[in-house]
Structures are given as structure tokens and as C-alpha cells.
Amino acid sequence: HPRASSRDGDSSEGASGGRARDREEDVVLVETTRPDGTTARIVYSTTAPVDVYELEKLCDDVGWPRRPVSKVQAALENSFCVASLRLEIAETGGSGGGGGGGGGGMPGVSYADASTPEGTSRRLVGLARATSDHAFNATIWDVVVDTEFQGQGLGKALVEQMVRTLLARDIGNITLFADNKVVPFYRSLGFVSDPEGIKGMFLYP
């Protein structure tokens, strides 16, 4: 597995990282109105709870090996950041996606309403998580997108949004591990394999 790296830095999380986390908002990546009058949107969130059984169903869908549910739950709880993509389907009539609301919004994206209308169905369609020392470094793990939604740029959007989240939390060095077949994907996002000859080292006791 190559080690990929993005942006060296010597920052520390401190109070600024905590403040950034408090300001994180859900981001609407895609929004469409269906012929039946419902609105479907894909929402990126670092605050939405993730059901471990729904996550395992998603991992089954992409063919990942089964893992003990208790360990998956512990991994989620001990992660520095858990980012999810959710398909939300709701009746039209709400305020819906249109420009970012005030403050530190990202240009070119819209932000989800603070309250989601009753009757909205939600489905987990993507996830990534990161572990960190909460000061300098973070490593991204478990990037997964539902097979039904692959090939639409959602994996790219998920990783890009997570990198933005980590940088906003004052993390300056972001790494990940990638299978050979997805190395080109991560390179296209700016990650570098074996920077300056650095190699990932593994111990299998």
C-alpha cells in the first residue's frame, strides 16, 4: 500500500480546531427534483450520527470483508472525524438548497437547513473517517461509496470535503493508505505516493 500525503505543516489544533468543528455545517453536494415532486439531495455531514449496522450494509454492498460490529462501532467513536454522505428524499415546498447561508460558507456549494422537514427519508450512501493526533497529523480511512452512486463524482467530493474539514480543524499533514487500483484516483486529488522516499511500514504480529 503506498502512503499518500497532502500538505506538510506544523500547526496545532488547540482552540482554533475546536472552534472550526463547532462551525461545521452540512453541505448539499447534489440536489434534484424528481418527476413525482420529491426533492432528492446528497448531503455531506460531519455531525450526523452513523448507524453501525447501516454502515456494515454499505460495506457489504461494495464487497468489503465483514468486521466485528463492536470494533466498527469503537472505530467510529474513536475517530477524529467521521464524514457521511446521505441521500435525503423529501416532499418539495421547503427552502431547499440555494446559496450558502452567511458566515464561512464554501463558494459554489449550498448548505443544508438546520432542521430537516418531517417525512424526509435518509439513507447512508458514503462514508470516510479520519484518525488524528489532534494537532499535526490525520489519516483518512474507510472511504466508501454505495455502488449505486459510484461514477458520479461523489467519492471525489467526499474526500475533497473531508480534506477541507481537516484543514479547517488546523490539521496540516493528511495521509491515507490506498490499494494499487485507486492510487490514480487519489493522485488526481493531489495526494503523493511515497513523498521524498518516505515508506509506510507495517508490523503483522
SS3 per residue for 7-65: CCCCCCCHHHHHHHHHHCCCEEEEEEECCCCEEEEEEEECCCCCCHHHHHHHHHHCCCC
Catalytic residue (choose from 44, 53, 186, 204):
186
CB 179 within 8 A of CB 1: yes
The rounded distance, in Å, linking the Cα atoms of 83 and 65 is 21
CB 173 within 8 A of CB 139: no
The rounded distance, in Å, linking the Cα atoms of 106 and 184 is 26
Q: How far apart are the first and last CA of the chain?
A: 18
CB 1 within 8 A of CB 86: no
Nearest to 15 by CA among 6, 7, 25, 23: 23
CB 84 within 8 A of CB 126: yes
53 is catalytic: no
Nearest to 121 by CA among 76, 54, 35: 54
Instruction: Give the active site residues.
Output: 186
